[in-house]
Amino acid sequence: MRFVPAGTERIFVSGRGNLSDIAELRRQAMAEVDRAADLASLEGVRQRWLGPKGVLTLELRTIGSRPPEERKAFGEAANRLKGEVAERLEARLSALRAAALDLRLAAEREDLTLPPRRVRLGRLHPLTQTIREVSRIFATMGFETVEGPEVEWDHYNFELLNIPQGHPARDKFNTLWISNPLGGDPDRPVLLRTHTSPMQARVMEARKPPIRVIVPGRVYRFEATDAYHESVFFQFEGLAVDDRITMADLKGVLYSFARQMFGGERKIRFRPDYFPFTEPSAEIAIDCFVCGGTGGECRTCGGSGWLEMGGCGMVHPNVLRGVGYDPSKTQGFAFGCGVERIAMLRSGTPDIRLFQQNDLRYLEGF
Ligand code: DAH
């Protein structure tokens, strides 16, 4: 009998061999196979037991030198053990391979848990918010919101508003004219509307009194820009037409609007003014929200204490006649205000150009 070292254990190899030796060899071989922790050490175990110089290989070689009566039983037992060890090696091999694959898959797996990019929720533009609020307030007084074309005929923008060719009021509206590349009709000039007032005539032509509408929309002026002027800006027009409408109705409606829009402490001022399409006409102003109307060095109101919002008046008889109404039976009032001016008042925005510059740092403040 001799012992050969194998790992920490000593492998018992029988020189003479008997069946109980085989049982001991099985125990050792199986234990080694089960202990192999990776493919390389498993291959070492295979070599040590089944390789050309492996324990069992050598053991089987001893068959011939054994006493004849032992050979059969020993040979059978040793061969069976060889088969069992090979099987055990095979099983261990697949187990180790599966474990190695699992490890690799775990290491290579896509990490789907990365947080996605934050979704930025948009919001309504401050001018849209203002227009909606204006429409909402006037709706409480029975006004319907309608819209009209931005590319307009001279006919509606000027003629029907009592501003004929050569009228000095045309100089107030620095107009962007549109030349028709197909020639067009020289007697029907086209322009970008300079105000929302042309919708007065359009609505009156299309409807019968009683009329109560609010017309928000973009208007265009051929003008240099500064903190208070843009060449593209928004207005809203108001028009009420019925019998027995008076200037008191106009003032009541505008006061109510100012109080709902700017709060009860705001003051509103009417001063005589001139517009060709209203008679009498008035300028509407609100006391300055920055200085509270004290003026002085206030840059927002230029020291006047007042902020102009627009104009208003009783619809001129010529305008009523122009759309086929009889001024002795029908009267109306109209007003027009700048949307940006109101948005600036409400938000304390110092420069009208901020509305169109689309700087999110500004827009997100609303
Ligand atoms: N359309 C005028 C402008 O743009 C504003 C205006 C004044 C409108 C008086 C009106 C009004 O309806 O009655 O300057």
pLDDT per residue as tens digits for the range 248-261 = 999 999 999 988 98
Superfamily of domain 126-363: Bira Bifunctional Protein; Domain 2 (3.30.930.10)
Residues with CB under 6 A from ligand 1: 195, 197, 237, 275, 278, 281, 310-313, 334-336
Give the per-residue pLDDT at 115: 86
Regions of the chain short of the pLDDT cut 70: 1-20
38: CA distance to ligand 1 center in Å? Answer: 90
Q: Name the residue of 275, 283, 331 to mutate for ligand 1: max ligand atoms within 8 A of Cβ.
A: 275
Q: Which residues contact 189 (CB under 8 A, 6 or more apart)?
A: 153, 154, 177
Residue 297, burial from CB neighbour count under 10 angstroms (0-12, 13-18, 19+): exposed
Closest residue by Cα to residue 277 from 233, 224, 335, 329: 335
Q: Name the residue of 194, 195, 223, 284 to mutate for ligand 1: max ligand atoms within 8 A of Cβ.
A: 195
Q: Are 32 and 43 in contact (CB under 8 A)?
A: no
Q: Where are the domains of the chain?
A: 2-108, 126-363
197: CA distance to ligand 1 center in Å? Answer: 6
135: CA distance to ligand 1 center in Å? Answer: 18
Closest CA to ligand 1's atom 8: 336
Give the per-residue pLDDT at 259: 86
308: CA distance to ligand 1 center in Å? Answer: 12
Q: Which atom from ligand 1 is nearest to the alpha carbon of 196?
A: 1
103: CA distance to ligand 1 center in Å? Answer: 78
Q: Which atom from ligand 1 is nearest to the alpha carbon of 315?
A: 13
Closest CA to ligand 1's atom 5: 336
pLDDT per residue as tens digits for the range 265-314 = 878 899 999 999 999 999 999 888 778 888 888 877 789 989 888 999 99
Give the per-residue pLDDT at 11: 44
Q: Name the residue of 170, 173, 335 to mutate for ligand 1: max ligand atoms within 8 A of Cβ.
A: 335
How many Cβ atoms are within 10 Å of 210's Cβ, its own excluded?
13
Give the per-residue pLDDT at 6: 46
337: CA distance to ligand 1 center in Å? Answer: 7
175: CA distance to ligand 1 center in Å? Answer: 15
For the stretch 257-261, contacts whose Cβ atoms lie closer than 8 Å and that sit 24 or more positions apart, written own/partner, are 257/134, 257/137, 257/138, 257/141, 258/286, 260/137, 260/140, 261/133, 261/134, 261/137, 261/342, 261/346
Closest CA to ligand 1's atom 7: 311
Q: Which atom from ligand 1 is nearest to the alpha carbon of 239?
A: 12
335: CA distance to ligand 1 center in Å? Answer: 6
Q: Are 38 and 29 in contact (CB under 8 A)?
A: no
Q: Which atom from ligand 1 is nearest to the alpha carbon of 313?
A: 13
Closest residue by Cα to residue 198 from 284, 317, 323: 323
Strand pairing partners for 85?
none
277: CA distance to ligand 1 center in Å? Answer: 8
In the chain, what is the greatest distance between 2 CA atoms, to the nearest angstrom? 145
